[in-house]
Chains A and B, each alone.
Chain A
Amino acid sequence: MIFSGAAATFIRELRLAWGGGGGAALPLGFFAAATSLTPLALGPAPDLLRAAGPGVLWIALALSSLLPMERMFQADLEDGTLDAYAGSGVALEGVALAKIAAHWLATGVPLALASPIFWVMLQGPVAAAPLVAASALIGGAAFFCFGAIGAALAAGIRRGGLLIALIAMPLYVPAMIFGAAAIYAAADGASWREPLMLTAAVALAAAAVAPFASAGALRAALD
């Protein structure tokens, strides 16, 4: 019962996240604009861009993954869908997990797949491009999980986007450190396995905490 509910929720959320409001296009556009501003501020010197590129890419990735968060739970809270979920016997934890997975699939995965393009534009070595996508895929999952906690806490607040950013940013620290370290190591030809595995560990820990924390926050918002 719980699993069939979660599967149906997942398909619904995936359709909404992909179809509603431009889907992945908007965060992708923001991602592109944010990374393109960097050379304009830092100057076009290839050495400087090569040194700053991995960090810039990760900041842009973190900010872009915050974009879909504000409407993640808020829309369903406003139109009563969450009440329907809560009344239907489906566990809100499953709903939260389905939403996180759907939004990550609809926005996080396209961002990760696009990141090698900007990596190469920021003078990163082409050989490291697959690793950039892999680390963005894994680190993005951590961003979406922690962002979802902030989104659930701020679901009942109008213009809660800034609150989500303030809540999520400190939680982004570990994924940011290990993810950026992995692609810095890859660019330097050093061992990227440890930071990448630590990024994955952070993402798994986030995935373990996020459904329960989000569901608890949603229950508080529904009362």
Chain B
Amino acid sequence: MAVLSYFANPQRFMAVSRPLSLIFMALGVTLILFGGWLGLFVAPSDYRQGDAARIMFVHVPSAWLSMGVFAFMAGASFVSLVWRHALADVAAKSAAPIGAAFTLLCLVTGSIWGRPIWGTWWEWDGRMTSVLVLFFIYLGYIAVWASMETQEKAARAAAILCLVGVINLPIIKFSVDWWNTLHQPATFFTGDNNATDGFKYPMYVMALGYLSLFGGATLLNMRAEVMSRRAEAIAQRRARQG
């Protein structure tokens, strides 16, 4: 909580976020370039899938982030609803388009990978379907922000939707899994080492790169949002003074 209230001051946030966003962006680009080089040239090609498996270095981190960003938004929405934290709803709003982009990237790269490996562009299997549903939830969340008259109303409505979404995501996931499962089960973090080390390290480097890029892009979005709200407030004050 101490950290939360420290950054509740938009003035302080603007001062700190400027260098921080640039550092995160630079770190993200560097890590993704390095991870891309590792994944394309250093990692061994898969003995069954050949070089097609290398798209996993883009696909898997974007899948992690698609869920991670939504969890981040849910946390920010909770803080925004409970403590009326000035920047929490800005954070959730700013993260949403980035999370949606990761989700879309995950779907598109999965589709490109599926064509040579499964022989189909799209398969209605459990995990693909639940990621698609997650993408629709992102779209609904962004639409709520876009369609409300005032920022305050939009913030509360979007926060409620985000929390309802996060309660329902496990139920949706369970139901879709129950419905159909063809996708290979989880490989990472399962305890038994299915992925080899040569495959793992580029993946972790890429995931860290994505995470930094997400942090940097979200901070940039937040700064833009804070500035546009300030500009709005100034314009309203001017209009009132005539």
Contacts and interface: CB of A to CB of B under 8 A. Distances in A.
Interface of A: 149, 153-154, 156-157, 160, 163, 166-167, 169-171, 173-174, 177-178, 181, 198, 202, 205, 209, 213, 216-217, 219-221, 223
Question: What 6 pairs across the A-B complex have the smallest Cβ distances?
Answer: A220-B156, A174-B175, A167-B140, A170-B136, A166-B140, A177-B175
Contacts of B174: 174
Chain B binding surface, main DSSP class = helix
Contact of A167 (B144, B149, B152, B178): B144
Given A156-B153, A223-B153, A171 B164 contact: yes
Contacts of A219: 156
26 contacts: A153-B144, A154-B144, A154-B147, A163-B140, A163-B147, A166-B139, A166-B140, A166-B143, A167-B143, A170-B133, A170-B134, A170-B136, A170-B137, A171-B168, A173-B175, A174-B174, A177-B175, A177-B179, A181-B179, A198-B178, A217-B156, A217-B160, A220-B157, A221-B157, A223-B152, A223-B156
A108 B242 CA distance: 53
Given A149-B164, A157-B147, A216-B160, A170 B140 contact: yes
Contacts of A217: 156-157, 160
Contact of B147 (A160, A171, A220): A160
Contacts of B156: 216-217, 219-220, 223
Contact of B136 (A169, A177, A213, A216): A169
Interface residues of B, number: 30
B208 interface: no
Interface of B: 81, 133-134, 136-137, 139-140, 143-144, 147-149, 152-153, 156-157, 160-161, 163-165, 167-168, 171-172, 174-176, 178-179
A153 B137 contact: no
A198 B172 CA distance: 12
A143 to B, nearest CB: 14
Nearest to B136: A170
B172 A170 contact: yes
Contacts, number: 83
A129 B178 CA distance: 25
Contacts of B171: 174, 202, 205
Nearest to B164: A213
B154 to A, nearest CB: 9
A3 B149 CA distance: 34
Contacts of A149: 160-161, 164
Nearest to A202: B171
Contacts of A157: 147-148
Contacts of A156: 148-149, 153
A220 B156 CA distance: 6
B236 to A, nearest CB: 18
